[in-house]
C-alpha cells in the first residue's frame, strides 16, 4: 500500500522510479490530509494523473487506487465545516469523476459514515449515481479503524458484507482482524511499521542501514505471518461500547 503522502514532492514516474515486483495498491492519504488541511492537497486531476504515471512506470496497474474520500469522524467534519452527508456526497463525486476521467485505473469507491444507517445511506447515494457496488472487485470502508474494538464496527462490516460487497478494511490491527476479518476481502495496516519505529525494533539478523525495521521487508513479512495466524484462529474478544 503506497500512500499519496509518500509520492508528493517527488518525481513520480521518473527514471529512478522502481518497477513493480509485487502486487501493490495506492491510497489517497485522505485522513492525514483532510484532518490537517481540511481538504486534499492534490486536486482530482493531479491525483488521477499521478496514478496514471505510476501505472506506466511500474509496468503494472495497482490492485486498486482509492478515490479521494472524505472521512466522517466528528473531528474531521469539525475541521471541514461540512456534514456527514456532504462528506458522503463529496466521496461519491470523487469516485464518479475519477472513473470518468481516468478510466484505465482500477478506482476503488469508499463508504463512509458513523452509524450503520449512514453507511446504508451512502450505498444508496452510489446507487443513485449509477454505481453498482456489489459488481465491483473491492469497496473500501472508511471511518472504522479508530473504533475497530467496538461492536458497532463489526455490525457495520457485517451489514455491508451481507449485501454482497467485497470489502477492504483500512488500517486494521490484529484485534480487528480476529474479530471480523471474515467479513473482509482484503485489509491493510501501517501498524507493523509504526510499531517498529515507536518501539525501536531491529531484528538481530537485519543488515539494513536504518536504525529500526520500519521499512524492513523481513519484519513486514513476520508481521504478515501473525495476521494470517490471527485470521486462521480467531479469538473471542471483549469489545467496548461506543459512547452515545
Q: How many other C-beta atoms can be found within 10 angstroms of the C-beta atom of residue 153?
A: 23
Contact 28, 47 (CB under 8 A): yes
Burial class (CB in 10 A: 0-12, 13-18, 19+), 97: middle
* Residue corresponding to grid cell 450503520: 116
Residues 189-206 pLDDT 10s: 888 898 899 999 999 999
What does the pLDDT read at residue 230?
77
Residues 202 and 102: their CA atoms lie apart, in Å, by 41
Residues 142-188 pLDDT 10s: 988 878 777 888 999 999 999 999 999 998 888 888 888 899 999 99
Q: What is the pTM of this model?
A: 0.88
What does the pLDDT read at residue 30?
92
Mean pLDDT by 10 residues, the chain (244 residues): 80 62 91 94 95 90 97 95 98 98 98 96 98 98 83 92 96 84 90 90 93 93 87 52 36
The angle formed by the CA atoms of residues 153, 187 and 78, to the nearest 5 degrees, is 50
Amino acid at each position: 500500500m503506497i500512500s499519496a503522502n509518500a509520492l508528493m514532492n517527488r518525481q513520480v514516474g521518473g527514471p529512478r522510479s522502481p518497477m513493480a515486483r509485487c502486487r501493490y495498491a495506492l491510497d489517497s492519504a485522505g485522513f492525514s490530509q483532510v484532518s490537517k488541511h481540511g481538504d486534499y492537497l492534490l486536486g482530482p486531476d493531479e491525483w488521477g494523473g499521478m496514478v496514471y504515471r505510476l501505472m506506466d512506470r511500474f509496468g503494472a496497474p495497482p490492485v486498486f487506487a482509492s478515490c479521494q474520500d472524505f472521512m466522517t469522524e466528528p473531528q474531521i467534519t469539525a475541521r471541514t465545516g461540512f456534514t456527514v452527508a456532504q462528506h458522503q456526497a463529496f466521496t461519491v463525486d470523487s469516485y464518479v469523476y475519477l472513473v470518468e476521467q481516468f478510466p484505465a485505473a482500477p478506482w476503488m469507491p469508499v463508504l463512509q459514515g458513523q452509524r450503520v444507517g449512514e453507511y446504508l445511506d451512502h450505498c444508496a447515494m452510489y446507487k443513485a449515481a449509477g454505481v453498482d457496488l456489489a459488481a465491483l472487485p473491492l469497496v473500501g470502508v472508511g471511518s472504522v479503524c479508530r473504533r475497530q474494538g467496538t461492536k458497532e464496527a463489526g455490525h457495520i462490516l457485517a451489514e455491508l458484507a451481507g449485501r454482497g460487497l467485497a470489502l477492504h478494511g483500512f488500517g486494521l490491527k490484529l484485534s480487528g482482524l480476529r474479530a471480523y476479518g471474515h467479513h473482509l476481502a482484503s485489509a491493510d495496516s501501517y501498524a507493523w511499521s509504526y510499531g517498529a519505529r515507536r518501539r525501536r525494533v531491529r531484528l538481530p539478523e537485519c543488515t539494513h542501514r536504518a536504525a529500526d525495521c520500519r521499512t524492513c521487508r523481513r519484519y513486514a513479512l513476520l508481521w504478515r505471518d501473525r495476521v494470517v495466524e490471527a485470521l486462521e484462529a480467531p479469538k473471542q474478544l471483549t469489545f467496548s461500547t461506543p459512547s452515545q
